[in-house]
Amino acid sequence: MMQESFFLNEREHKPRKVSLAMGLLGFMQQVGQKDLINLAAGVPAPELLPVEELKKAFRLATQKAGLSMWAYQTPSGHGPLRMTMAARLGARGLKITGEDVLITTGCTQALHLALQTLVRPGDIVACESPCYYNTLEQISAAGGLALPLPSNANTGLVLKSAEALLKKYRPKVLVLCSTLSNPTGASIPEEDRPRWVQLARRLGLTIIEDDIYAELCEGIVPPPLRAFDDGSHVLYVSSFCKTVSPGLRVGCAVPGKWMQPMLERKCMADLHSSLVSEATLDAFLCSPAMGKHLVNLQKTCALKRALGTKAVRDYFPEGTLISEPRGGFILWVQLAKKINMKMLEAKALQEGVSFAKGEVFACATTRVSAMRLNCARVSEAQLVKGIKILGGLIKSSAKVKEKLKT
C-alpha cells in the first residue's frame, strides 16, 4: 500500500509558485503521433468511443433542433442539455435545476473559469499532491500560490493531515478531484465527503470539485462533495470528454453563487460553446445508448487496468508500488528506488514509448520516482509491450547506478 504524503518531503508542504517543464500542451502534442506506444496522455482510445451511436444522436438532434442548432445561443448553453445534466446530477444527490448548470468547452474551460473567478494574484490555492498538471498550470495562470496537501494514492487527500495545513495557511480555494483523481486514480471515501464540506464551511474555504472521471467508477458511483452543499462552498466542474467523446468538447459547471461572474467570463471568452456538440450530446444522453456504453467502457477499462497492473508486476523491479483505482484507465506507479526519470523518458521515447513522469504532477522537488500510465489508449499487445520496454529500461538504469556507486 502507498503511504500518506509519499510524494513530497514534509517541509515542502507550503505555498509556492508553480513552474512545469512540460504540461498539457506537451502531452496533447503527442496524441496524434504515429508509431508511438502512448501511455502518457490521459485520454481514451478512439475505438472506445460510441461513434456510431453519436452519429445517430447527431441526426436526431438536427431533426429536433432544426435551424436553431446552427445559430448563436445563450452563453449558459443548450437548455435541454442543461436540464439533462441537472437530472443526471440529481440522481447523485445534487438538488439543482437546469438553471444551475453552465455548459462549457470541456472541463478545462470550466476549471479555468472557476479559478479566474475565485483567485487573485498572491492567493493561496490548496491542491492534491500529486496533482493533475493542468490544474497546477491553471493555478499559476490565475496568479495563485499552490499549497500541496498530503495524499494517499488510493484514498486521496488525507483529511486529518490536510486540515492542519489548511488551518495553518488559510488558502482561499481548494481544488480536488473527488473520484478517480488524476494522476493516481484515488477516490475520497464516502464517509469523508460531507466532512470536507463541513471543514470548508468552518474555514471559509471554497472547494472546486473536479468530477470528470466519476462515471468511470465501477460499482455504485459515489455522490460528489457538491451533494452535501448548497452551492455556497463547493463549485462543481466536470465533462463528458472521458466518458463519451473528447472531440465533442462538452463540459459543465454548477457554479452556485458564482454563476453570474463565471457566465460573464464565459461570454467574453467565446460567447458560447458549440451548440451542435451540445444538442448531439443531449440526444445521446437521453437514449439507452449512454447506459450501454458506460457498462462496456467500464468493463474494458477494468480489463486493461488489470492487464497493465500484471505487466508492471511482471516487468518492473521488485518493490514497485501500484495504485488500485476503483475504475478508470490510469495507474500510478512508484519505483522502490529513485532513478533519473528525465533520462528514462528520453530513452523510452527512443524506443517508441511515452509515459507521464511524476515530476509533472508536482509542485516541488519529488523524493520518489513515479509515473502515470494510461492503460486505455493503446491495444492490449502494445500496452504489455510498452510496459515491458519501460521495465527493462528501469532495470538497466538501476544497474548503471549501482555500478557507478561501486
Kindly give, in sequence order, each residue whose CB lies less than 8 Å from that of residue 61, ignoring residues fewer than 6 positions away: 69, 276, 279, 280, 282, 283
Least confident of 6-20, 76-90, 160-174, 210-224: 6-20
71-287: CATH topology is Aspartate Aminotransferase; domain 2 (3.40.640)
pLDDT score at 209: 98
| Alpha-carbon torsion (118, 122, 124, 128), positive or negative | positive
CATH number of the structural domain 21-48+291-405: 3.90.1150.10
Give how far Cα 188 sits from Cα of 108, 125, 229, 237, Å.
21, 19, 16, 17
55 versus 359: which is more confidently predicted? 55
Region at 20 (left for phi over 0; alpha for psi -120 to 50; beta for the rest): beta
CATH 3.40.640.10 boundaries in the chain: 71-287
Mean pLDDT, all residues of the chain? 91
pLDDT digits (tens, 9 = 90+) for 102-156: 999 999 999 999 999 999 999 999 999 999 999 999 999 999 999 999 999 999 9
Per the CB < 8 A criterion, the answer to whether 65 and 281 are in contact is no
The interaxial angle of helices 275-285 and 51-65, nearest 10 deg, is: 110
Q: Among all chains, which residue has been given the C-alpha cell 475565485?
A: 118
Predicted pLDDT of residue 65: 87
Report pLDDT for 28: 53
Task: Tell me where in the chain the CATH 3.90.1150.10 domain(s) lie.
Answer: 21-48+291-405
Closest C-alpha to 158, from 185, 128, 182, 180: 128
Q: What pLDDT was estimated at residue 362?
A: 86
Q: How far is CA 240 from CA 194, 196, 218, in A?
A: 25, 25, 17
Q: Where is average pLDDT lowest: 135-139, 259-263, 400-404?
A: 400-404
C-alpha cell at 178: 473527488
- Say what the pTM is: 0.93
Q: How many residues does the chain have?
A: 406
Phi/psi zone of residue 210: left (φ > 0), alpha (ψ -120 to 50 degrees), beta? beta
pLDDT at 77: 97
Tally of CA atoms within 13 A in the half-sphere of 173 that contains its CB: 28
SS3 percent helix, strand, coil of the chain, rounded to 5, is 50, 15, 35
**In 58-107, beta strands by DSSP E:** 102-104
Number of Cβ within a 10 Å radius of residue 24? 19
pLDDT > 90? residue 21: no
